[in-house]
Chains A and B, each alone.
Chain A
Amino acid sequence: MSDQLIPIYVMGKRYDVPEGLTIMTAMEWIGYKFIRGCGCRGGFCGACGTAYRLAGDYKLRFGLACQALVQPNMHLTQIPFYPNPKTPYNIEDIKDPVETLLTLFPEIKKCVGCGACAKACPEGLRPIDYIAAALRGDWKTAAELSFDCLMCGLCASRCTGELVPHNIALFIRRYYSKYVRPMPANLLARTKEIRDGKFDNGVKKLANMSEEQLKKLYDQRDFEKI
């Protein structure tokens, strides 16, 4: 934070704030106390999506208030909520994934490939690409391309085709992770051993030892190599 003050416009109202603050800390510096529009404060939860323009530039920009720094003559508003309802489904019972996708999200066919979504994404993701991959049936690519999605909803707020890209992506990732990448054999073997009670006595024995005995064993552990 520096002593230099710069003008910013919060929902049209001018304030002079120190350079070097994030949009979120600048608003708090002004005197806002957030109820909405602030969650993790670390760029993970997508609560703080913000739209802004810079003076003299027509371009509409997007960022996370907890990450993006204030800039001189920034005109901003938060978009703390966007109506993105989702249709419930049963993950345990999906027979035909493509048919399910089209039933749950029929609007997916309305994607016109305009790319407005990619311009809005604060994570630099390209919903246009993961939606295209999904439509091609390449769900692996769709899952991987969308993985970093915070579900902030900014793409949905801009979508020409009225899609909710992040909800589509979540369905695809869940289906792909559950059904296309099967449960690993070593994990299944271990959970069977657990259910059979294989380790119960071993753990019980440790739990009943004296602290002194345990401290000795603790110092004698053999570590796997890095």
Chain B
Amino acid sequence: MSARLFELMLKAAGTTVVISFVSIGIGLLIGILVCAAKLSPRPWLRWPAVLFVSFFRGVPLLVQLLLIYNLLPAIGLAVPSLVAALIGLSLCTAAYQAENLRGGFTSVPRGLLEAADMVGLSPWQQFRRIRAPIALRLTVPALVNEAILILKASSLVSVVGVIELTRTAQNLAASTYEPLLFYSVAGGLYLAINWMVAGGGSLTERALRRGRLA
């Protein structure tokens, strides 16, 4: 593979990283809101969140992407390829991240919260000092897992016209007639990126265990 083609593959890997990380970030923000809504005692907050999660977790990402790209223009919003891809990936991962966070929050032992009540901590103090740190620690492995899944799922966004790592490998494999070479390089790049994500995740977990974060 010439240096020029390897550079193209690296650039495409950059596109993959950027769309994945932006989506994971936006998805985390939306996920926090959806999780809060789902844990809320008020039904008018809870039900939309339940619907959101069932839809975006229940419909394949490929179908979501095609719906966003082809249906939004019908209501006058012809979003460009990149925006459609970011909306699809963000909403899908938001649904999963909301459930991961909810799992973390509901796993905080009741006894700890009762003890906190006894020593007179306010609900906000309880959240900040006890519930959030414990929930976060329980959620980090699931979030890293989700980040890795989204990085791989981002190979689907070529159906809405975003040329990322997988599509670039397909294009170059087709024009050079060397599929083995280009798919191996693409596989290697995905693996390298995901190693870094997993590594970052373990460092975060270790820091959380030693109480340096949160």
Answer yes or no: are A and B bound together in one complex: no
Interface residues of B (CB under 8 A from A): none
Residues of A within 8 A of B (CB): none
